[in-house]
Amino acid sequence: MYSVITVQNVLSNFDFARVQQVMLFMGWRWLVGNALRVPTVSELEATARMMLELVSDEQSSVTSGGLVADMDDGALRLRFVIEQRTSEVK
């Protein structure tokens, strides 16, 4: 578990308004309560806070609705991912 200061630092440097704009543009909706809609900036931030608080070690990541909270070289990280590919290296 990371300190409240670390989590707050990540949140305060993340552009939730831009994420919301992308979601509006793409028609990307979340189930919020009983309604399927684009979340508010406050709802995005609250979800991100919960996710960041759940990340407990370098092996841990938490994802929800495009948001990804994880570790990057020992630092707590928050991302909004709209596309991702992986490939096995052989």
Q: Where are the beta strands (DSSP E) in the chain?
A: 30-32, 35-37, 61-64, 67-72, 75-80
Give the tens place of pLDDT for each residue, 15-61: 999 999 999 999 999 999 999 999 999 999 999 999 998 886 555 89
Per-residue CA distances from 24 to 19, 29, 32 (Å)? 9, 8, 15
Tell me what pLDDT residue 79 has. Answer: 96
Q: Say which amino acid occupies 76.
A: L
pLDDT at 81 over 60: yes
- Contact by Cβ (8 Å): 30, 65: yes
Q: How confident is the model at residue 72 (pLDDT cuts 50, 70, 90)?
A: confident
pTM above 0.85, yes or no: yes
- Contact by Cβ (8 Å): 76, 52: yes
Q: How confident is the model at residue 4 (pLDDT cuts 50, 70, 90)?
A: confident
Which carries the bigger pLDDT value, residue 40 or residue 73?
40
| Dist. CA 31–CA 12, nearest whole Å | 25
23 exposure class (CB count in 10 Å sphere: 0-12, 13-18, 19+): buried
Tell me what pLDDT residue 25 has. Answer: 97
Tell me what pLDDT residue 70 has. Answer: 92
